[in-house]
Amino acid sequence: MSNSPSHLRDWIIALYGALEEAEPHRAQAIRKLAGDQISRMVLDDDRVSVRFHDEVLRVTRLRATAKLKSPNGATDRQTVTALLLGYMEVSEAISLGYIRLRGTTDEVMAICAIIEILVDASTRIPTLQKNADTFLAATDSEAPRSDRRNRMARVQATAQRERALLGREGLINSFD
């Protein structure tokens, strides 16, 4: 596993390179979404600056204390694991605060679209699947499973309380 990516910079380069080779049109879509914008990303303690210059991906490591200018996004390995395993959707991760995005509306929407492209490709393209498997092997996957079970239990409990309230108020028939 010595060739395995270890820093966020390495993961981004590996993911984008594999996508560019397997589905150039998807890589082009990412370049178009990113434009000439410089974005900052955080995964746990790893920080990078990402941009395309003359359609070439440039990823630079940032110091852990570097101020994150907008646009930027931050998450952790557990959230990425949950996304890759299908335990959580990108929109859910954002709404629950597991992915934090900053920027204009257009910048945030572009970041979301790029994330969706990469997650989708990581489930379909063999080289990206191998990258995802390597990432998952280095990350505890039990925590996302447990978190999903807890979220689903809360959703079910809320739905039951809502049905009971609506039933008591005569707005729906009781489903006993």
pLDDT tens digits, one per residue of 96-129 = 999 999 999 999 999 999 999 998 998 899 999 8
Same domain, residue pair 114 and 168:
no
Total domains present in the chain: 2
35: phi > 0 → left, psi -120 to 50 → alpha, else beta; which? left
For residue 32, give its domain range: 8-75+83-138
75 in Cβ contact with 93 (< 8 Å): yes
**51 and 105: one domain?**
yes
Judge if 175 and 165 occupy the same domain: yes
Residues 91 and 36 in one domain: yes
**Residue 94 falls inside a structural domain:** yes
In a domain, 164, yes or no: yes
- Tell me the pLDDT band of 4, cut-offs 50, 70 and 90: low
pTM above 0.95, yes or no: no
CATH number at residue 94: 3.30.1050
* Average per-residue pLDDT for the chain: 87
Can you give the pLDDT at residue 142?
A: 64
- Residue 98 CA: distances (Å) to CA of 54, 78, 107: 32, 9, 18
The reply to whether 3 falls in a domain is: no
Assess whether 133 and 148 both reside in one domain: no
Are both 127 and 154 inside the same structural domain?
A: no
Q: Clarify whether residues 107 and 175 are in a common domain.
A: no
Residues 157 and 132 in one domain: no
Hey, which residues does 40 pair with through a beta bridge? 49, 72
Give the DSSP letter string of 163-174: HHHHHHTTSS--
Same domain as 104, residue 27:
yes
